[in-house]
Amino acid sequence: MNEQYAVDVLICGAGAAGLTLAIELARRGIRFRLIEKSPEPFHGSRGKGIQPRSQEVFEDLGILDRLFAVGGVYPTERRYRDDGSVSEAHSIEHNVPTAAEPYQQPLMVPQFLTERVMRERLLELGHRPQFGCELVAFQQDADGVTAQLTDTAGTQAVRVRWLVGADGGRSFVRHALDVGFPGKTLGVRALVADVQLSGLTPDCWHRFGDGDLQRQIAVCPLAGTELFQIQAPIPLDVDIDLGAEGLTAFIASRTGRDDIQVHAVSWASAYTMNARLADHYRVGQVFLVGDAAHIHPPTGGQGLNTSVQDAYNLGWKLAAVANGAPQPLLDSYEEERRPVAASVLGLSTQLLDNLQRGDMRRGREVHQLDIGYPHSSLTLGNAGHRAPDAKLRGAAGQSVRLFDVFKGTHWTLLGYGVAPGSVLPRAGLQVHYIGAHAERVDELGQFQDAYALAIGEWVLVRPDGYIGAVVASADVERLEGYLLQVGLHPV
Ligand SMILES: Cc1cc2nc3c(=O)[nH]c(=O)nc-3n(C[C@H](O)[C@H](O)[C@H](O)COP(=O)(O)OP(=O)(O)OC[C@H]3O[C@@H](n4cnc5c(N)ncnc54)[C@H](O)[C@@H]3O)c2cc1C
């Protein structure tokens, strides 16, 4: 740690992206500060769907079981038709978990509960967000950033090596960098509100007026709470009363029912939908993650998930460079993550069009399991895809999940039928051998099914669970070159 810096990383914003980055840095022992201008945690449900790929990320961060314990599965949808008929259906495809993809259903957790679980994890790692502290200005040079922070004690300057703007769609950091945020306003305004109400049961997602923008309204029980989340498109230019009485009247106007009564509103917002992508994710020593870099409609439940995975991509790279890895590693963040957001923009806008026509179906395309970085400068050989799970047998006879082998901050090198000793372990790299008489046996053939390696091949898995390299034993020198490129030096 260079003493010219108060900390290595200043994270501006303690939403889902900032908290993920903080956990990633904390578990690697990197010095950082996480500031949040709000005096207290955000308490709205907003992004309530945790997609299968984010579930894998949260498993690695050590919070998946906690999230399942506080959240729940998506309920079926009950559609109320004008002729008085009612039908029930799943809008979410139900796929069976497989050995390679253990999580197949979105998990419902209101965002305020997800963030609470993340803050608890951060506390376990010895850190907490500093609430009521706002970034108000910064200047950068080639070595770092000088940031002005304001809290109740006044304004102070801090010198940091990197600043990360995890400060949401209206990002102060993005504006200050003068990074363009092109895209479009979609001409759709929506209401979202977390309420206590009577007149509807908490066993399903109630949908009225599907396919008619003037009359659509959905009321979903929020898993882990006694609240319901109301969502409805609203006119662009009409003031909506977001109080309990106003929402009761609004529901009656959409459903024709006066037995649905809102008793309390814990959070509500009326917002205009946009689809925008930042021109750059990095300017010098400053990065953008999450909504600061991309915003899109909530359809498909991609916003929070994409934000978390931005931070998951950047975190290990910042830590590696802080610990001496070559600087170009950081360039791969924008290279890998910006195309992902570009495709999410297209997907969520398409799903919004479908929704307006009454088509609510969502399938694998929203699960984010097919995201990968095959064209990244960090990818060597036929690699870049998500590293699947598989069950192996340990030499001691126990069952071993690959995801448990990957879990943590290290890289993992798996040698398939490779003679031990040709690549030496080093700090940050765990080397494991798989074979009939090796430390791990592919007894069920799940590893071979998922990875399809030839005998004698190596597969290198990055700390964020993507395959960085696949190389034959004869090419071990290329593997050594790759390991140096990402800062993994022999001890
Ligand atoms: C109304 C609404 C409904 C949504 N519905 C869904 C949904 O159904 N599904 C889904 O996946 N996503 C949804 N989203 C999107 C999802 O909530 C976001 O993608 C997610 O919150 C992004 O996380 P983030 O950490 O990048 O930003 P945010 O959660 O916005 O966090 C940014 C934080 O930075 C703080 N901050 C800002 N400026 C400063 C500063 N200068 N100094 C210090 N702190 C600062 C803010 O106070 C805030 O806490 C919705 C969003 C909105 C607004």
Q: 7-72+105-182+275-366 domain in CATH 3.50.50.60? A: yes
For residue 307 and ligand 1, the question of a CB distance below 6 A is answered with yes
CA dist 247 and 94 (Å) reads 33
**What's the gap in Å between 170 CA and the centre of ligand 1?**
9
For residue 293 and ligand 1, the question of a CB distance below 6 A is answered with no
- For residue 38, the ligand 1 atom closest to its alpha carbon is 47
For residue 168 and ligand 1, the question of a CB distance below 6 A is answered with yes
Tokens of 302: 């991609």
Q: What is the pLDDT of residues 32-89, one digit of tens each?
A: 999 999 999 999 999 999 999 999 999 999 999 999 999 999 999 999 998 889 999 8
Taking residue 452's Cβ as centre, other Cβ atoms within 10 Å add up to 10
User: 61 vs 100, 362, 372, 488, CA distance in Å?
Assistant: 19, 27, 19, 22
Top-level CATH class of 391-485? Answer: alpha beta
Tokens of 75: 């309920």
- Half-sphere exposure for 328 (CA within 13 Å, toward CB): 7
- Cα 453 to chain centroid distance, Å, stands at 29
SS (H, E, C) 344-390: HHHHHHHHHHHHHCCCCCECHHHCCCCCCCCCCCCCECCCCCECCCC
Mutation test of ligand 1: which of 149, 152, 167 has the most ligand atoms closer than 8 Å to its C-beta? 167
Nearest Cα residue to atom 10 of ligand 1: 47
CB-count exposure of residue 292 (10 Å: 0-12, 13-18, 19+): buried
- For residue 111, the ligand 1 atom closest to its alpha carbon is 17
**What's the gap in Å between 135 CA and the centre of ligand 1?**
16
Low-confidence ranges of the chain (pLDDT < 50): none
For residue 35 and ligand 1, the question of a CB distance below 6 A is answered with yes
CATH code for the part of the protein at 184-274: 3.30.9.10
**What's the gap in Å between 168 CA and the centre of ligand 1?**
5
pLDDT, residue 266, reads 97
pLDDT, residue 359, reads 67
Q: What is the pLDDT of residues 229-272, one digit of tens each?
A: 999 999 998 899 999 999 999 999 999 999 999 999 999 999 99
Mutation test of ligand 1: which of 46, 164, 174 has the most ligand atoms closer than 8 Å to its C-beta? 46
**What's the gap in Å between 490 CA and the centre of ligand 1?**
41
Q: What is the pLDDT of residues 108-135, one digit of tens each?
A: 999 999 999 999 999 999 999 999 999 9
Nearest Cα residue to atom 38 of ligand 1: 167
For residue 47 and ligand 1, the question of a CB distance below 6 A is answered with yes
What are the E-state strand segments in 109-171? 130-131, 134-140, 145-151, 154-165
CB-count exposure of residue 288 (10 Å: 0-12, 13-18, 19+): buried
What are the structural domain ranges in the chain? 7-72+105-182+275-366, 184-274, 391-485
pLDDT, residue 3, reads 65
Backbone torsions φ then ψ of 17, nearest 5 degrees: -70, -45
For residue 296 and ligand 1, the question of a CB distance below 6 A is answered with no
pLDDT, residue 360, reads 62
**What's the gap in Å between 277 CA and the centre of ligand 1?**
15
Q: Any residues with CB less than 8 A from the CB of 142 and at least 6 apart, and which?
A: 284, 285
Alpha helices in 384-475 (DSSP H): 402-406, 446-451
For residue 38 and ligand 1, the question of a CB distance below 6 A is answered with yes
